[in-house]
Amino acid sequence: MIKTRKDLKLYISEDKKRYGNVTSFTKIFGHSEQWYIWKVIYSVRLLEFYKNNCTNIVNKVIYTLLNIRHHKLMKNTGIYIFPNVFGPGLYIPHLGTIHVSGVAKIGKNCTIRPGVLIVSNLGVSNKKLRPIIIGDNVEFSEGCKILCRKIGDNVIVGPNCTVFKNIPNNTTVYSPQCKYLSHDDI
């Protein structure tokens, strides 16, 4: 959670480490997908800072304007991520539809590929949003759906997996039937 400018710099620097030099001339004017993804991540970090610091009227106005801009970016890129969800080091390698619940809590160094869906409630009849807690160093492959409540640290979720059960630390989940392979067994 970003509460101070120091936290904001830390989160942005950790995110930027995973992207390299995203502000280079060719990426800005060449309209690379990395540039658009970086705009979404930078936008969510600024939005998070101002959301957590809405103490005066100026910050509330800035937050409102950033919120409008962020929603436009989400709509244009298909990457629906919200403030106060991700820890530092978020990495999205490619453009594509990504939906992450606003009540999820995801640790540092998370990698999310296109087609990922992380939801916090199942169905219209379930009105209560339940938080999803995801640990550090987690990688979500293309097309996976996360419907469980807890995922441990150092987990890799394979492509097209639909996860209903909680995943322990140091585990790889593969195949659509969600078979688990513990890293400790290797």
With vertex at residue 148, the alpha carbon angle to CA 144 and CA 154, rounded to the nearest 5 degrees, is 70
Read off φ and ψ for residue 18, nearest 5 degrees. -80, -15
Cα atoms in the Cβ-side hemisphere of radius 13 Å centred on 58:
0
CATH architecture of 97-186: 3 Solenoid (2.160)
Three-state DSSP string of the chain: CCCCHHHHHHHHHHHHHCCCCCCCHHHHHCCCHHHHHHHHHHHHHHHHHHHHCCCCHHHHHHHHHHHHHHHHHHHHHCEECCCCCECCCCECCCCCCEEECCCCEECCCCEECCCCEECCCCCCCCCCCCCCEECCCCEECCCCEECCCEECCCCEECCCCEECCCECCCEEEECCCCEEEEHHHC
Q: Do residues 87 and 137 make contact, with C-beta atoms less than 8 angstroms apart?
A: no
Token pair recorded at residue 145: 């759906």
Specify the pLDDT at position 119.
Answer: 87
Q: List the domain boundaries for the chain.
A: 1-80, 97-186
- Residue 83: band (very low, low, confident or very high) from pLDDT cuts 50, 70, 90: very high
Examine the pLDDT at 127 and tell me if it is beyond 70: no
Q: Which residues pair with 181 in a beta bridge?
A: 172
Separation CA 153–CA 170 (nearest Å)? 6
Specify the pLDDT at position 64.
Answer: 93
More confident residue, 4 or 122: 4
More confident residue, 29 or 143: 143
Specify the pLDDT at position 24.
Answer: 58
| CB neighbour list of residue 170: distance below 8 Å, 6 or more residues apart | 152, 153, 154, 155, 182, 183, 184
Mean pLDDT of the chain: 87
Task: Look at residues 148, 169, 173, 149 and name the one whose alpha carbon lies nearest to residue 161.
Answer: 173
